[in-house]
A = this chain, B = another copy of it.
Amino acid sequence: MHPFTDKRSESVSALGEVRLLDKIRDWLGSAAPAEPYGMGDDCAILPRGKAARLITIDPVVYGGHFNDTMSPRATAQKLLKRNLSDLAAMGGLPTAAVLALTLEPRTSLRWLAGFYRALADCARHYAVPIVGGDITASTVPGHLSASLTLLGNPAHGSRTLTRRGAQAGDSIYVTGQLGNTLGTGHHYRFTPRLAEGAWLACQRAVRSMIDISDGLAKDLKSLQSPGLEAEILAEKLPLRRGANPRSAICDGEDYELIFTLAAKARRSDFERRWRAAFPKTSLTRLGQFVLAGTRSEAALNLANYHGYEHL
């Protein structure tokens, strides 16, 4: 759906700021908590005992992350879920979110209503209260973006997983399938791996983790400690419907988790416990990290593949 309108009466500028904020309160409904924990003050306040230690911020920009072929509903879901995926990749669970909107005055109220109602539905589904935000006019025609800051905490008080910690011999695992994320609509239909991430952070033998947003080749490099390289086989790649190996390696927006399991861990035992915990989420061992220069000849040379470049 096109987000702008030339009919002033159908645009945000007809409403003005105060009435727009009232509308947004309506649209968010129970996804926005009551005072003093909700919108409408200089800061949002989290209840005692809900203070947050994990923060991530990710936007959606018109023409980049969404366009006229995507519904405002899909756009809102994508915005919240890509932040949830970042939280999942640390082993965190969400606490609250704030939303900063930059929009040109021609933005259509119909688009915005669809966006906020879907954001509210998605926020309720994942139990993420929308506690505040900001609305600013864009000075450039055609600009519409929403930036969501997501707050959270380590799941069950356990540790967080970062991108660092992989050692030579550690296995490389990936959840779900890879590739063809645009063709299948996966780039907004995905389910953030929150439960899986939280479970993995409780496993001592899991040493590092990241979610795939810019493509396997690029994001795997972020797990690669100095002096190591990934040794993975093309035939191991779990392909999404319609995906080929190149798309599985290069496409962004898989929003699956890649993590490393210590070499000394008992893989069969770990994989059995995974299947018991997540019978519906497939898990694939892609290969392992090896000392740089010792990769087997059959393995992929990831230097030949590029991920999503933001600039």
Contact B147 A41 (CB under 8 A): no
**In the assembled complex, A237 has its CB within 8 A of some CB on chain B:** no
Per-position binary interface string of chain A over residues 25-47, scored 1 when its CB falls under 8 Å from any chain B CB and 0 otherwise: 00000000001100011111110
State the CA gap A147–B98 with chains docked (Å).
Answer: 12
State the CA gap A90–B87 with chains docked (Å).
Answer: 28
**In the assembled complex, A182 has its CB within 8 A of some CB on chain B:** no
Across-interface contacts of A92 in B (CB, < 8 A): 43
Contact B310 A137 (CB under 8 A): yes
**In the assembled complex, A179 has its CB within 8 A of some CB on chain B:** no
State the CA gap A51–B139 with chains docked (Å).
Answer: 36
Across-interface contacts of A86 in B (CB, < 8 A): 42-43
Point out the residue from B44, B87, B138 that lies within 8 Å of A54, measured CB to CB: B44
State the CA gap A40–B50 with chains docked (Å).
Answer: 25
CB under 8 Å from chain B, chain A span 249-301: none
Categorize the interface residue count of chain A.
Answer: 35 or more
Across-interface contacts of A141 in B (CB, < 8 A): 140
Closest to A36 in B: B162
Contact A102 B137 (CB under 8 A): no
Residue of A40, A153, A211, A311 ringed by the most chain B CB atoms within 10 A: A311
**In the assembled complex, A55 has its CB within 8 A of some CB on chain B:** yes
Across-interface contacts of A16 in B (CB, < 8 A): 309, 311
**In the assembled complex, A64 has its CB within 8 A of some CB on chain B:** yes
Closest to A160 in B: B45
**In the assembled complex, A164 has its CB within 8 A of some CB on chain B:** yes
State the CA gap A51–B249 with chains docked (Å).
Answer: 37
State the CA gap A50–B138 with chains docked (Å).
Answer: 34
**In the assembled complex, A185 has its CB within 8 A of some CB on chain B:** no
**In the assembled complex, A100 has its CB within 8 A of some CB on chain B:** yes
Interface residues in chain A, defined as those with a beta carbon under 8 Å from any beta carbon in chain B:
12-13, 15-17, 20, 35-36, 40-46, 48, 50-59, 61-64, 86-87, 89-90, 92, 96, 98-100, 102, 105, 131-143, 145, 147, 149, 151-153, 160, 162-164, 210-211, 309-311
Provide 20 A-B residue pairs closer than 8 Å at the C-beta atoms, listed in order of the A residue.
Answer: A13-B311, A42-B87, A42-B89, A42-B90, A43-B90, A46-B53, A50-B53, A51-B153, A55-B131, A55-B149, A57-B133, A59-B102, A61-B136, A61-B139, A100-B100, A102-B147, A105-B311, A134-B147, A136-B145, A145-B145
If A102-B102, A134-B147, A137-B311 are given as contacts, then 5 extra A-B residue pairs at C-beta distance below 8 Å, sorted by A number, are A20-B311, A46-B53, A51-B51, A100-B149, A138-B143
